[in-house]
A and B are shown apart, each in its own frame.
Chain A
Protein backbone atom coordinates (compact mmCIF):
# COMPACT_ATOMS: atom_id res chain seq x y z
CA UNK A 1 0.00 0.00 0.00
CA UNK A 2 1.28 3.45 -0.94
CA UNK A 3 2.58 5.78 1.75
CA UNK A 4 0.51 8.97 1.83
CA UNK A 5 2.59 12.17 1.99
CA UNK A 6 1.40 15.79 1.92
CA UNK A 7 3.66 18.45 0.36
CA UNK A 8 2.78 22.02 1.36
CA UNK A 9 4.68 24.65 -0.64
CA UNK A 10 3.59 27.75 -2.53
CA UNK A 11 6.16 27.06 -5.22
CA UNK A 12 4.91 24.79 -7.97
CA UNK A 13 8.57 24.19 -8.82
CA UNK A 14 9.27 22.67 -5.41
CA UNK A 15 6.08 20.59 -5.52
CA UNK A 16 7.16 19.26 -8.94
CA UNK A 17 10.66 18.45 -7.63
CA UNK A 18 9.19 16.66 -4.60
CA UNK A 19 6.84 14.75 -6.92
CA UNK A 20 9.78 13.75 -9.13
CA UNK A 21 11.77 12.53 -6.11
CA UNK A 22 8.95 10.19 -5.01
CA UNK A 23 8.07 8.94 -8.51
CA UNK A 24 10.10 5.69 -8.15
CA UNK A 25 8.38 4.89 -4.83
CA UNK A 26 4.95 3.63 -3.76
CA UNK A 27 3.87 7.06 -2.58
CA UNK A 28 0.53 8.80 -2.85
CA UNK A 29 1.46 12.48 -2.90
CA UNK A 30 -1.10 15.14 -1.94
CA UNK A 31 -0.30 18.81 -2.49
CA UNK A 32 -1.27 22.17 -1.02
CA UNK A 33 -0.06 25.68 -1.88
CA UNK A 34 -0.33 27.31 1.57
CA UNK A 35 -0.91 26.52 5.23
CA UNK A 36 -4.67 26.96 5.06
CA UNK A 37 -4.99 24.50 2.18
CA UNK A 38 -2.45 22.29 3.94
CA UNK A 39 -4.55 22.02 7.12
CA UNK A 40 -7.69 21.24 5.13
CA UNK A 41 -5.87 18.60 3.07
CA UNK A 42 -4.28 17.08 6.18
CA UNK A 43 -7.71 16.81 7.87
CA UNK A 44 -9.24 15.22 4.78
CA UNK A 45 -6.41 12.92 3.66
CA UNK A 46 -4.76 12.04 7.01
CA UNK A 47 -1.25 11.75 5.51
CA UNK A 48 1.47 9.72 7.21
CA UNK A 49 3.95 12.60 6.79
CA UNK A 50 3.85 16.31 5.94
CA UNK A 51 6.64 18.14 4.09
CA UNK A 52 6.16 21.81 4.95
CA UNK A 53 7.58 25.09 3.62
CA UNK A 54 7.91 28.11 5.96
CA UNK A 55 7.33 31.25 3.89
CA UNK A 56 3.99 31.04 2.10
CA UNK A 57 1.13 33.43 1.40
CA UNK A 58 -2.30 33.15 3.11
CA UNK A 59 -0.96 31.04 5.99
CA UNK A 60 2.75 30.42 6.57
CA UNK A 61 4.34 27.14 7.64
CA UNK A 62 4.89 28.14 11.28
CA UNK A 63 1.20 29.02 11.72
CA UNK A 64 0.12 25.80 10.02
CA UNK A 65 2.46 23.78 12.25
CA UNK A 66 1.09 25.53 15.37
CA UNK A 67 -2.51 24.76 14.38
CA UNK A 68 -1.60 21.20 13.42
CA UNK A 69 -0.10 20.57 16.87
CA UNK A 70 -3.24 22.00 18.53
CA UNK A 71 -5.47 19.57 16.64
CA UNK A 72 -5.94 16.31 18.54
CA UNK A 73 -6.54 14.34 15.32
CA UNK A 74 -3.57 15.74 13.38
CA UNK A 75 -0.88 16.49 15.96
CA UNK A 76 0.77 13.07 15.71
CA UNK A 77 1.50 13.41 11.98
CA UNK A 78 5.28 13.83 11.64
CA UNK A 79 6.47 16.98 9.86
CA UNK A 80 9.65 17.70 7.91
CA UNK A 81 10.31 21.39 7.29
CA UNK A 82 11.62 22.09 3.78
CA UNK A 83 12.73 25.69 3.63
CA UNK A 84 15.46 28.06 2.51
CA UNK A 85 15.53 29.73 5.92
CA UNK A 86 17.78 28.36 8.65
CA UNK A 87 17.99 31.42 10.90
CA UNK A 88 18.40 30.71 14.61
CA UNK A 89 15.10 32.12 15.85
CA UNK A 90 13.09 30.42 13.13
CA UNK A 91 14.74 27.05 13.71
CA UNK A 92 14.34 27.26 17.52
CA UNK A 93 10.69 28.28 17.25
CA UNK A 94 9.93 25.47 14.82
CA UNK A 95 11.85 22.89 16.87
CA UNK A 96 9.85 23.86 19.97
CA UNK A 97 6.59 23.34 18.09
CA UNK A 98 7.77 19.85 17.23
CA UNK A 99 9.16 18.75 13.88
CA UNK A 100 10.88 15.48 13.06
CA UNK A 101 13.45 16.93 10.69
CA UNK A 102 14.50 20.03 8.78
CA UNK A 103 15.84 20.15 5.24
CA UNK A 104 17.37 23.36 3.94
CA UNK A 105 16.94 24.28 0.27
CA UNK A 106 18.72 23.70 -2.06
CA UNK A 107 18.46 19.97 -1.55
CA UNK A 108 19.23 16.85 -3.51
CA UNK A 109 16.34 14.48 -4.14
CA UNK A 110 18.34 11.74 -2.39
CA UNK A 111 18.56 13.85 0.79
CA UNK A 112 14.79 14.24 0.83
CA UNK A 113 14.26 10.52 0.24
CA UNK A 114 16.75 9.66 3.00
CA UNK A 115 15.08 11.95 5.57
CA UNK A 116 11.57 10.79 4.64
CA UNK A 117 12.67 7.14 4.63
CA UNK A 118 13.80 7.45 8.25
CA UNK A 119 10.25 8.34 9.29
CA UNK A 120 7.85 6.42 7.02
CA UNK A 121 8.27 3.27 4.94
CA UNK A 122 9.30 3.94 1.33
CA UNK A 123 8.93 1.01 -1.00
CA UNK A 124 10.35 1.10 -4.53
CA UNK A 125 7.85 0.49 -7.31
CA UNK A 126 8.44 -2.75 -9.17
CA UNK A 127 10.44 -2.28 -12.38
CA UNK A 128 8.12 -1.88 -15.39
Chain B
Protein backbone atom coordinates (compact mmCIF):
# COMPACT_ATOMS: atom_id res chain seq x y z
CA UNK B 1 0.00 0.00 0.00
CA UNK B 2 1.41 3.43 -0.96
CA UNK B 3 1.93 6.18 1.58
CA UNK B 4 -0.78 8.27 -0.03
CA UNK B 5 -3.31 5.40 0.11
CA UNK B 6 -2.38 4.77 3.73
CA UNK B 7 -2.85 8.43 4.54
CA UNK B 8 -6.26 8.50 2.88
CA UNK B 9 -7.29 5.43 4.89
CA UNK B 10 -6.09 7.03 8.11
CA UNK B 11 -7.75 10.37 7.27
CA UNK B 12 -11.06 8.52 6.78
CA UNK B 13 -10.62 6.48 9.96
CA UNK B 14 -9.77 9.53 12.06
CA UNK B 15 -12.52 11.65 10.47
CA UNK B 16 -10.32 14.42 9.02
CA UNK B 17 -12.03 17.16 7.03
CA UNK B 18 -11.08 17.08 3.31
CA UNK B 19 -8.44 19.59 2.20
CA UNK B 20 -9.21 22.37 -0.26
CA UNK B 21 -8.34 21.14 -3.74
CA UNK B 22 -7.27 24.47 -5.28
CA UNK B 23 -5.03 25.46 -2.36
CA UNK B 24 -3.35 22.01 -2.30
CA UNK B 25 -2.94 21.87 -6.08
CA UNK B 26 -1.62 25.42 -6.35
CA UNK B 27 0.85 24.88 -3.53
CA UNK B 28 2.12 21.71 -5.23
CA UNK B 29 2.58 23.58 -8.51
CA UNK B 30 4.38 26.49 -6.88
CA UNK B 31 6.56 24.12 -4.85
CA UNK B 32 7.81 22.52 -8.08
CA UNK B 33 9.14 25.88 -9.33
CA UNK B 34 9.36 24.54 -12.91
CA UNK B 35 5.58 24.39 -13.33
CA UNK B 36 3.93 25.61 -16.48
CA UNK B 37 2.22 28.95 -15.78
CA UNK B 38 -0.76 27.76 -17.85
CA UNK B 39 -1.36 25.00 -15.30
CA UNK B 40 -1.32 27.56 -12.49
CA UNK B 41 -3.72 29.82 -14.40
CA UNK B 42 -6.08 26.87 -14.92
CA UNK B 43 -6.16 26.06 -11.20
CA UNK B 44 -6.80 29.70 -10.26
CA UNK B 45 -9.52 30.14 -12.87
CA UNK B 46 -11.37 27.13 -11.43
CA UNK B 47 -11.59 28.84 -8.01
CA UNK B 48 -13.74 31.97 -8.48
CA UNK B 49 -13.03 33.37 -5.00
CA UNK B 50 -9.26 33.00 -5.45
CA UNK B 51 -9.42 34.53 -8.93
CA UNK B 52 -11.36 37.54 -7.59
CA UNK B 53 -8.89 38.08 -4.75
CA UNK B 54 -5.91 37.87 -7.09
CA UNK B 55 -7.45 40.46 -9.42
CA UNK B 56 -8.31 42.72 -6.46
CA UNK B 57 -4.69 42.58 -5.25
CA UNK B 58 -3.42 43.24 -8.79
CA UNK B 59 -5.60 46.36 -9.02
CA UNK B 60 -4.89 48.04 -5.67
CA UNK B 61 -6.28 51.44 -6.63
CA UNK B 62 -9.54 50.22 -8.17
CA UNK B 63 -12.70 50.62 -6.09
CA UNK B 64 -14.57 47.89 -7.96
CA UNK B 65 -14.11 45.36 -10.76
CA UNK B 66 -15.27 47.83 -13.41
CA UNK B 67 -12.17 49.93 -12.72
CA UNK B 68 -9.71 47.04 -13.10
CA UNK B 69 -6.92 47.67 -15.59
CA UNK B 70 -5.61 44.14 -15.05
CA UNK B 71 -8.44 41.85 -16.02
CA UNK B 72 -7.02 38.36 -16.44
CA UNK B 73 -5.29 35.88 -14.17
CA UNK B 74 -2.29 35.78 -16.55
CA UNK B 75 -1.80 39.55 -16.27
CA UNK B 76 -2.26 39.44 -12.51
CA UNK B 77 0.39 36.71 -12.19
CA UNK B 78 2.78 38.76 -14.33
CA UNK B 79 2.25 41.78 -12.12
CA UNK B 80 2.20 40.13 -8.68
CA UNK B 81 4.06 36.88 -9.19
CA UNK B 82 3.12 33.26 -8.64
CA UNK B 83 4.21 33.43 -4.99
CA UNK B 84 1.56 36.06 -4.33
CA UNK B 85 -1.11 33.76 -5.81
CA UNK B 86 0.02 30.95 -3.54
CA UNK B 87 -0.14 33.14 -0.45
CA UNK B 88 -3.66 34.20 -1.45
CA UNK B 89 -4.61 30.56 -2.03
CA UNK B 90 -3.23 29.58 1.36
CA UNK B 91 -5.27 32.38 2.92
CA UNK B 92 -8.46 30.51 2.07
CA UNK B 93 -7.84 27.41 4.22
CA UNK B 94 -6.49 29.69 6.95
CA UNK B 95 -9.70 31.76 6.88
CA UNK B 96 -11.85 28.63 6.83
CA UNK B 97 -9.87 27.19 9.73
CA UNK B 98 -10.42 30.38 11.75
CA UNK B 99 -14.15 30.40 10.98
CA UNK B 100 -14.42 26.68 11.86
CA UNK B 101 -12.50 27.19 15.10
CA UNK B 102 -14.89 29.91 16.24
CA UNK B 103 -17.94 27.92 15.25
CA UNK B 104 -16.66 24.73 16.92
CA UNK B 105 -15.19 26.15 20.11
CA UNK B 106 -17.31 29.26 20.65
CA UNK B 107 -20.49 28.53 18.67
CA UNK B 108 -19.82 31.91 17.08
CA UNK B 109 -20.30 32.63 13.40
CA UNK B 110 -17.49 34.80 12.05
CA UNK B 111 -17.85 36.45 8.66
CA UNK B 112 -15.04 37.53 6.41
CA UNK B 113 -15.23 41.27 5.72
CA UNK B 114 -13.42 43.80 3.54
CA UNK B 115 -10.51 44.99 5.63
CA UNK B 116 -11.18 48.59 4.57
CA UNK B 117 -14.67 48.39 6.06
CA UNK B 118 -13.49 47.08 9.44
CA UNK B 119 -13.33 49.34 12.46
CA UNK B 120 -9.69 50.32 12.97
CA UNK B 121 -7.69 48.64 15.73
CA UNK B 122 -7.16 50.48 18.98
CA UNK B 123 -3.66 51.90 19.24
CA UNK B 124 -2.78 49.23 21.82
CA UNK B 125 -4.00 45.79 20.77
CA UNK B 126 -3.10 42.11 21.15
CA UNK B 127 -0.77 40.74 18.47
CA UNK B 128 -0.17 37.01 18.10
CA UNK B 129 2.52 35.81 15.71
CA UNK B 130 3.56 32.37 14.52
CA UNK B 131 6.55 32.20 12.23
CA UNK B 132 7.36 29.26 9.97
CA UNK B 133 10.63 28.42 8.28
CA UNK B 134 12.07 25.76 6.02
CA UNK B 135 11.55 25.54 2.27
CA UNK B 136 8.98 28.29 2.75
CA UNK B 137 9.44 31.17 5.18
CA UNK B 138 6.95 33.61 6.64
CA UNK B 139 4.46 34.22 9.39
CA UNK B 140 0.81 34.39 10.38
CA UNK B 141 -0.23 37.47 12.36
CA UNK B 142 -3.43 37.74 14.39
CA UNK B 143 -4.52 41.12 15.79
CA UNK B 144 -7.49 42.04 17.94
CA UNK B 145 -8.60 44.65 20.42
CA UNK B 146 -8.28 43.70 24.09
CA UNK B 147 -12.06 43.48 24.54
CA UNK B 148 -12.26 40.97 21.68
CA UNK B 149 -9.38 38.94 23.16
CA UNK B 150 -11.10 38.90 26.53
CA UNK B 151 -14.44 37.82 25.02
CA UNK B 152 -12.77 35.04 22.99
CA UNK B 153 -10.81 33.65 25.95
CA UNK B 154 -13.92 33.73 28.14
CA UNK B 155 -16.01 32.00 25.46
CA UNK B 156 -13.49 29.21 24.89
CA UNK B 157 -13.09 28.54 28.60
CA UNK B 158 -16.82 28.76 29.32
CA UNK B 159 -16.61 31.89 31.49
CA UNK B 160 -18.24 35.32 31.31
CA UNK B 161 -15.97 38.12 30.02
CA UNK B 162 -16.03 39.72 33.50
CA UNK B 163 -14.55 36.54 34.99
CA UNK B 164 -11.75 36.53 32.43
CA UNK B 165 -9.28 39.03 33.85
CA UNK B 166 -6.12 36.92 33.83
CA UNK B 167 -3.92 38.43 31.09
CA UNK B 168 -1.80 35.26 30.97
CA UNK B 169 -4.85 33.13 30.14
CA UNK B 170 -6.04 35.66 27.55
CA UNK B 171 -2.63 35.49 25.84
CA UNK B 172 -2.49 31.69 26.08
CA UNK B 173 -5.91 31.41 24.46
CA UNK B 174 -4.91 33.74 21.61
CA UNK B 175 -1.74 31.68 21.14
CA UNK B 176 -3.73 28.44 20.99
CA UNK B 177 -6.11 29.99 18.48
CA UNK B 178 -3.11 30.79 16.28
CA UNK B 179 -1.74 27.28 16.76
CA UNK B 180 -4.99 25.74 15.58
CA UNK B 181 -5.28 28.03 12.55
CA UNK B 182 -1.69 27.58 11.43
CA UNK B 183 -1.55 23.83 12.06
CA UNK B 184 -3.82 23.33 9.06
CA UNK B 185 -1.85 25.91 7.05
CA UNK B 186 1.43 24.14 7.78
CA UNK B 187 -0.05 20.72 6.93
CA UNK B 188 -1.01 22.02 3.47
CA UNK B 189 2.48 23.42 2.89
CA UNK B 190 4.23 20.22 4.00
CA UNK B 191 1.89 17.98 1.97
CA UNK B 192 2.81 20.04 -1.11
CA UNK B 193 6.52 19.48 -0.53
CA UNK B 194 7.17 22.85 1.14
CA UNK B 195 8.45 21.33 4.38
CA UNK B 196 8.58 23.83 7.20
CA UNK B 197 8.45 24.05 10.96
CA UNK B 198 6.21 26.28 13.01
CA UNK B 199 7.82 28.41 15.67
CA UNK B 200 6.11 28.70 19.05
CA UNK B 201 3.43 31.42 19.09
CA UNK B 202 4.33 34.81 20.54
CA UNK B 203 1.53 36.95 21.94
CA UNK B 204 2.11 40.49 23.14
CA UNK B 205 0.57 43.93 23.42
CA UNK B 206 1.46 46.01 20.39
CA UNK B 207 0.88 49.48 19.02
CA UNK B 208 2.16 48.63 15.55
CA UNK B 209 -0.44 47.57 12.99
CA UNK B 210 1.77 47.89 9.92
CA UNK B 211 1.64 45.14 7.29
CA UNK B 212 4.33 42.54 7.94
CA UNK B 213 7.04 42.20 5.30
CA UNK B 214 8.79 38.99 4.30
CA UNK B 215 11.59 39.68 1.78
CA UNK B 216 10.66 38.36 -1.65
CA UNK B 217 7.27 37.25 -0.38
CA UNK B 218 3.56 37.91 -0.81
CA UNK B 219 1.00 39.19 1.66
CA UNK B 220 -2.67 38.45 2.27
CA UNK B 221 -4.56 40.73 4.69
CA UNK B 222 -7.94 39.56 5.97
CA UNK B 223 -10.51 40.76 8.48
CA UNK B 224 -13.32 38.92 10.26
CA UNK B 225 -16.22 40.04 12.37
CA UNK B 226 -19.02 38.71 14.52
CA UNK B 227 -21.43 40.71 16.63
CA UNK B 228 -18.89 41.50 19.37
CA UNK B 229 -15.55 40.45 17.95
CA UNK B 230 -13.31 41.73 15.22
CA UNK B 231 -10.09 40.06 14.10
CA UNK B 232 -7.37 40.92 11.61
CA UNK B 233 -5.23 38.20 10.07
CA UNK B 234 -2.14 38.72 7.91
CA UNK B 235 -0.23 35.97 6.13
CA UNK B 236 3.17 36.87 4.72
CA UNK B 237 5.23 34.19 3.01
CA UNK B 238 8.03 33.63 0.56
CA UNK B 239 7.30 30.21 -0.97
CA UNK B 240 10.89 29.71 -2.14
CA UNK B 241 12.75 31.17 0.86
CA UNK B 242 14.87 33.19 -1.56
CA UNK B 243 14.44 36.68 -0.16
Contact = CB atoms under 8 A, between A and B. Distances in A.
Interface string B56-100: 000000000000000000000000000000000000000000001
Given A92-B10, A102-B10, A85 B186 contact: yes
A20 to B, nearest CB: 6
Nearest to A85: B183
Interface string A76-90: 000000011111111
A92 B2 CA distance: 11
A85 to B, nearest CB: 4
B158 A11 contact: no
B4 interface: yes
Give the size range of A's interface with the partner: 20 to 34
B14 A102 contact: yes
Interface stretch (B40-48, B170-178, B207-215, B229-237): B170-178
Give the size range of B's interface with the partner: 35 or more
Nearest to A87: B187
B183 A89 contact: no
Contact of A90 (B156, B181, B187): B187
A105 B190 contact: no
A120 interface: no
A76 B60 CA distance: 58
B166 to A, nearest CB: 10
9 contacts: A11-B175, A11-B176, A13-B173, A13-B176, A20-B158, A86-B14, A88-B3, A90-B190, A102-B16
Q: Enumerate the 5 nearest inter-chain pairs by beta-carbon distance, A residue then B residue, closest first.
A: A84-B183, A87-B187, A102-B14, A106-B101, A106-B104
